[in-house]
Amino acid sequence: MEVFDCHTHPTFNSSMFSDAAKSNNIDYSESGLLREMEKNGVAGCMAIGLDESSNRCVAELANRNRNILPIYGVETQTIEKSYAGLKKLAASGVFRGIKLYLGYENVYPFSKRLDKFYRLAENNDMTVIFHTGDTWQSIKRSKQGSMVKYSHPLNIDEVATTHPEMKIIIAHSGNPWTEDTAEIVYKNKNCYADISGWFFGKPQNDSMDLMKDKLKFLVRFGGKDKILFGTDWPLAGMHDYINFVSECGLTSNEIEHVLYKNAKRLFFQNS
């Protein structure tokens, strides 16, 4: 079965991800990523940047590998600079989407400050990915510290409704508020959710049943066409994550949609 990973961070110059990769025994390099994809039948992935230097890194990676789609990580702490950087690149079609770090940067998705990013995304057919749900304490993107009220998935409804043509991915499905995410993707035609980042390293046995139930609810309430596979690599290995999806009690048709078909429809419509 083919797979597309909608959420990876191959930003090899980031020390935070390098440390995580080390503890997960993951070869955190371009060749390590390509080997892991090959071994697990992963046909392509989204490579998500965090800041200026990692945006450069994912763009270069995508330049060498056509099956890797780069996503521009927006820094709202230095919003004008970040916008100027994106604007310069948007028209050339290098980046396939943008990522906004909401709870890490204490900005609501419906903040007027973000309108110009949405305009750019709409005009250049870029997908907008929002970090939602829990914030990882080792990531520091704002002086005040992360606040999850900004990354609650219910906040996405307003921006999805007022920008009906903009393609939106609710990253991490707002975990632990996955039921709220199921409602948002069910209600809004333009909204999808990825299931990345639900576990770090190996899946923990004591929480597996809970996670399987969450995934089933998301797929059956939100819609099998709306849920996307993602890992948050190198925070988790692709093999373990594919196993998790395959073994959670979904039908093979549902699994195919989550692992591959939805991403194919979303990102490769014209090819």
Q: Which residues bind Zn ion (CB under 5 A)?
A: 232
Distances (CA, A) of 42 to 9, 37, 83, 257: 15, 5, 32, 14
Residue 201 beta carbon to Zn ion: minimum distance, rounded to whole angstroms: 15
Residue 99 beta carbon to Zn ion: minimum distance, rounded to whole angstroms: 8
Residue 220 beta carbon to Zn ion: minimum distance, rounded to whole angstroms: 25
Phi-psi region of 29 (alpha: psi -120 to 50; beta: other; left: phi over 0): beta
Residue 244 beta carbon to Zn ion: minimum distance, rounded to whole angstroms: 17
- Given the complex with Zn ion, which of 14 and 82 has the nearer CB atom? 14
Residue 162 beta carbon to Zn ion: minimum distance, rounded to whole angstroms: 25
Residue 129 beta carbon to Zn ion: minimum distance, rounded to whole angstroms: 9
- Given the complex with Zn ion, which of 75 and 232 has the nearer CB atom? 232
- Given the complex with Zn ion, which of 105 and 232 has the nearer CB atom? 232
Question: Looking at this protein, which amino acid is placed at residue 228?
Answer: L
DSSP string, the chain: --EEEEEE---TT-HHHHHHHHHTT---SHHHHHHHHHHTTEEEEEEE--SHHHHHHHHHHHHH-TTEEEEEEP-GGGHHHHHHHHHHHHTTT--SEEEE-HHHHT--TT-GGGHHHHHHHHHTT-EEEEE-S---TT---SSS---TTTT-GGGHHHHHHH-TTS-EEEEGGGTT-HHHHHHHHHH-TTEEEE-TTSSSSSPPHHHHHHHHHHHHHIIIII-TTSEE----BTSS-HHHHHHHHHTSS--HHHHHIIIIIHHHHHH-TT-
- Given the complex with Zn ion, which of 222 and 234 has the nearer CB atom? 234
- Given the complex with Zn ion, which of 193 and 250 has the nearer CB atom? 193
- Given the complex with Zn ion, which of 214 and 224 has the nearer CB atom? 214
- Given the complex with Zn ion, which of 14 and 250 has the nearer CB atom? 14
- Output the residue with the shortest Cβ distance to Zn ion: 232
Residue 131 beta carbon to Zn ion: minimum distance, rounded to whole angstroms: 7
